[in-house]
A and B are shown apart, each in its own frame.
Chain A
Amino acid sequence: MIRAENLTKRYDGILALDGLTFEVHEGELLALLGPNGAGKTTTLRLLLGLISPTSGRIWIAGEPMTPGSHGLRRRIGYLPETPGFWERLPAWKNLEIYARLYGVPAPRSRVMALLEQFGLADRAHDPVATFSRGMRQRLALARALIHDPPILLLDEPTAGLDPEAALEVRERLRALKGQGRTILLCTHDLEEAERLGDRVAILRTRLLALDTPDRLRAQRFGVVVAIELDGDPEPYLPRVQGQPGVIQAALRNGRLEIQVTDLRAVTPNLVRSLVEAGAPILSVTPVKASLEELYLQIIREGRGPGESG
């Protein structure tokens, strides 16, 4: 649905994006992660044709996207980092203008239905200047949906929101994903990325990683299972190390941490072997590195010489 090939963008000679290639499949939510200045907003602006790439190509729903592809923008709903409303105009008027720009039939009724859906109907006639940050974000999301686009490009939709408002926006994003829309979500919130994203992309001027969080973990940290015993686990360590499918085993935090080739295939045999050896097993849990650990490791590895922060 979205395809970027070898996208590079320079601003006055400064490299903002370097050879970015990725695809977002139909109905997929791809979370784009990266530190400030990593090129996330630049990527969204390139995908929308708001700016031109220095090199590289973009396809939206199979059609090439360029700054002149005005019609193709009908397929995309955009929520920029700062919502950006006409502050003096009432909420309904803000949306109605956009509905007309997108050529939505019966714009007024579409606007009112969306305001109702986003819990803003009672404030429809108030100037946007009087809205809280959470209300603005909901309104911005409603604006991005005004023409019912199959593709959504969302730039940090929960940034700066209080936990309740952020949760509400996340619920709406989950619902939008459930409707089969293709979503590219830029976020700094790793938990949000993991909960909502089918895949995550980690960007720092160039693409550092792109896959599901679980596969990225497996690639980076392997598959690890932790076995807690009632007592000292050390005597059982040699037995575990000799088992087929075990890559390595160690004692950590008073328990056995065993890196295996395949969680489902190896774990039952491991447990059986330990039980046969009389080990008093209390718990067996797969160990998942947090996305934060994964992200930080990838970002640190991706940092160029002399870079910090």
Chain B
Amino acid sequence: MNLHRIAAVIDKEIHDALRNRYIVMLMVLLPIVFAAIPILSLTSIRQIPPSRGSSGELPPALARRLAGLPPQAQLEVFLVSQFTLLFWIAPLAIPMTIAAYSVVGEKREKALEPLLATPVTTGELLTGKALAAACPGIALSWAAYLLVVAAAHGIRLSPPALETLWGPTAWVQIFALGPLITLLATLTGLIVSSRVNDPRLAEQIGMVVILPLLGLILAQSFGILWLSGALLGVIALFLVGVDALLAALAVALFERETILTRWR
């Protein structure tokens, strides 16, 4: 792997993405939306008089886990834990869009043939494309997360809720699982993008990755499961394996000859 060539591919992808109005709009709006939802929700529950806050509205399994906390704190912890999961999804939209257009878009512009005629290897090309697609989304989701953390301190969230938002478990979710899931979505988008000739189709197929995540969010909402530190560790390890497998698969499935000769 030649790092200079990977950097050149990243540079191209970022410059190209920044000239795509749709992607720029996503880059501006998504962090705002993903920061605003938790901030507004947490601010609004701070307005509820303590007497009206009730743990009876939480799923029973969750209420048991949070037993011992004041009802207001229980609600805050519950909401914060749900919002932390939101940051798994937050970085996905931008990388999926960039990745989905990545190969198909170049093929449509007929820009892939001269690019493949350079010394760049498939591994370098896909690494550059994957990093360029994944990094902006991850960076923006981290920025949104830090905004939420700052706002949470500003509105004086209860200490247990603050610990849930800014503690080792949350860090694993935001700084490890978020990027791993983003990479998974990006690689899926790239694989699909190199096999189909419609970027929208690539994006739609790639978005299937979100479904298991929504399942996890719903499972935690209903108290079916609680994402403890140990469980998150297992998920992270699983994702490392899946990402490595997908990366190898992406290189194997990127058939230069098929892409050049069969796509019209």
The chain A residues found within 8 Å of chain B, CB to CB, are 11, 45, 48, 50-52, 67, 70-71, 73-74, 76, 78, 80, 82-89, 93, 97-98, 100-103, 127, 140, 143
Contact = CB atoms under 8 A, between A and B. Distances in A.
B114 A143 contact: yes
B58 to A, nearest CB: 49
Interface string B1-43: 0101101110110011001100000000000000000000000
A84 B114 CA distance: 7
The 3 A-B pairs at the shortest CB distance, nearest first, are namely: A100-B8, A84-B110, A88-B19
Contact of A101 (B20, B109, B120, B256): B120
Contacts of B106: 86
Interface residues of B, number: 30
Given A82-B110, A100-B4, A48 B117 contact: yes
Given A51-B261, A80-B110, A80-B113, A71 B19 contact: no
B172 interface: no
Contact of B257 (A52, A101, A103): A52
Contacts of A67: 256-257
Contact of B16 (A45, A86, A101, A102): A86
Interface of B: 2, 4-5, 7-9, 11-12, 15-16, 19-20, 106, 109-121, 256-257, 260-261
User: Which of B12, B19, B117 is the most central at the interface, judged by chain A CB atoms within 10 Å of its CB?
Assistant: B117
Contacts of A11: 261
Nearest to B257: A51
11 contacts: A11-B261, A50-B256, A51-B257, A83-B110, A85-B111, A86-B111, A88-B19, A100-B4, A100-B8, A100-B11, A102-B118
Contact of A85 (B8, B20, B109): B109
B90 to A, nearest CB: 26
Contacts of A103: 2, 4-5, 119
Contacts of A51: 256-257, 260-261
B117 A78 contact: yes
Given A67-B256, A93-B15, A101-B5, A87 B109 contact: yes
A223 B111 CA distance: 47
Given A74-B119, A76-B117, A102-B118, A84 B257 contact: no
Contacts of B11: 97, 100
A79 to B, nearest CB: 8
B260 A70 contact: no
Nearest to A76: B117
